[in-house]
Amino acid sequence: MVFALGLHGRGNQALQLYEDMLESGLKPDKLTFIGLLMSCSHSGMVEKGRMLFDSMSSVHSLSYDVDHVACMVDLLGRAGYLSEARDWASNMISSCEALLGACSVHGEVAMAASVGEGMKSVQPGNETSYVLQSNVYCASGQWEQAELLRKAMAEEGLKKPPGCSWIEVGNKLTSFVAGNCQAVSCNGELRETLYSLENEMRNFGRCWL
């Protein structure tokens, strides 16, 4: 219930449920706090999230792990506390991924580049750092930098699993593969429509990698 409420932006209700749990004598575990921190993140409740994290050890004698740190990075990053989020992230890959996502939202290109390079040094064969860093460049309109990352991925032999969707019109199934209009089993007019949509996506700071 805590996870469900938090995921849908009902942070106050999630925290109230937690208080009810404590009053009934139930003891929270590590998973409970992941749900609580996620709830705070999705509802912008930064100070409450800090207090809950501190209470894990000070009140409930629970040690935190990488998932709790990732939640704190996400909480701080979403709220714009990027420097503090970076301090939390350190060399934890999952936390750095959350930080790169926050950099994309807040347009912090320089920090994204630094974090991305750090991720590559820790896990050179992980394509996630390339993809997330490219998203930051796309969001800021730096298409050439995004293209350089795409080429770097190819040179390293890394590939992002392509997104694919299907639509059935007139009993005919047509598939669409992200980033590869040539693979579309359709006529030229539909391809032109796809190219037009891609240009519009670029105008809104989105790209396909």
What is the predicted pLDDT for the residue at 139?
Answer: 79
Count the Cβ atoms, other than its own, within 10 Å of residue 147: 15
The pTM of this model reads 0.62
What is the predicted pLDDT for the residue at 124?
Answer: 73
d(CA 15, CA 99): 24
Residue 109 banded pLDDT, cuts 50, 70, 90: confident
The answer to whether the CB of 3 falls within 8 A of the CB of 35 is yes
CA pseudo-torsion sign 68, 70, 71, 77: positive
- pLDDT surpasses 90 at 35: yes
- pLDDT surpasses 80 at 87: yes
What is the predicted pLDDT for the residue at 62?
Answer: 95
Query: If you average pLDDT over residues 134-162, what whole number do you get?
Result: 80
